Each structure stands twice: as structure tokens, then as C-alpha cells.
Structure 1
């Protein structure tokens, strides 16, 4: 028995053979763009459920485009991530600056007769 589920992908296995706005089922999208992983049809369904992946729903089928799938490649902070250095993109250097400032403030408020913190 021949599996016809991804025949369109077998006929055009190169993603560049597909238009940016050409509709694909989630299974076709996974087979086309991630044939050996890491994403699968189930992964894409999870992204739809989590409202991360924009889709069209026609006749009960979830359909997606290559253009819409680009959102899965964008790196962004997780919800609830701290606003400071990670949001500004400064990373650990900004964290080190904040730590130095905290230590300086602690020295100023400790006074000459207080035992330093370990």
C-alpha cells in the first residue's frame, strides 16, 4: 500500500520549490522542513495550541505557510523572563555590572565597625 499522506512533499522535496504563501498541512510542513526532526506534526500542533504558530483552518484541517512557519525560528525571551539584562540583550556583562553596584552599595551602608558579609 502506498502512503499518499506526503505525496506533494515527495514531488517537491526542496522547500524553495514551494511558494512562501502556499498552503501545507502540518504533516507536510514537518516532512518538508524538518524531514529528520527536530519538529514533527505533533510539535506543530502543540505550537498551534500554544498560539505560537499562526494557521488557517479550512474544512477542519490546520494549514500553514512557509512564511508563517518562520515564527518558530525566532528566538525571544520566555514569558515571565526578567526584564533586566536578558531583555536588553546585554547578558552576563550587565549582570556583572549590577553585582558590582550591589557590592559597592553594601560597602557604603555597612560602615567602618561592621563585619563584612562573606
Structure 2
């Protein structure tokens, strides 16, 4: 059974590194299987050391710009992240349920719980 999401753009088969959605350098992927049904949910890139290094370097390079923001500006960004998590909570719960095999209720609760930490730090 294919995933049904209100916002299908939430299901990605690439990784976000340095402002871009990218595949693994070697093009290799890993199949994601729903443990409850055995069905294929999708694929993700099989990233290696080079991609990991680039992701760490990109995060490190972004740090000065983040650090230079005022507390209020950082708070707005975190607050928006919190709002987006809640806005897409149902779809994210479907994705978590499909990937991990947990109940939809548990997945939705986990997203709300995680979002509460972002709200706290905002």
C-alpha cells in the first residue's frame, strides 16, 4: 500500500547537505521497509565518509551566520520549525509509522513531544 500524505513533498529520497538535496556520491541507496508489513516505503542514499565530512563542514561553515543572529531572530526560526512540525504532524506520523512500524498514535505523540523541546528553546 503506497503512502498517502497530504503533502507528498515531505517524503524525500535524498539528503540535505549544504543547502541542497543530494544523492550519495556513489549513487547507492538503502531500501526502507515497513517492519510491520514488509512493504517497501522508499529508499535513502547510502552516504559514506565523504558525504558525512561535507555535511559536518557545511554545518561548521553555517555556524558563524547562526551565531551572529540576535536571540530574537534565532527564536523566530526555531518557532517556525516548531509550527511546521505541528502543521505536518499527521503526515510525519504516517512516515514514522511506515518506517518504524509503531502505532500512528505513538508516532504522533512523539512528534508533539519533540516539537515541545524546540518550542522550549525558542
Higher percent of residues as helix: 2
Higher percent of residues as strand: 2
TM-score normalised to structure 1 length: 0.25
Structure showing greater radius of gyration is: 1
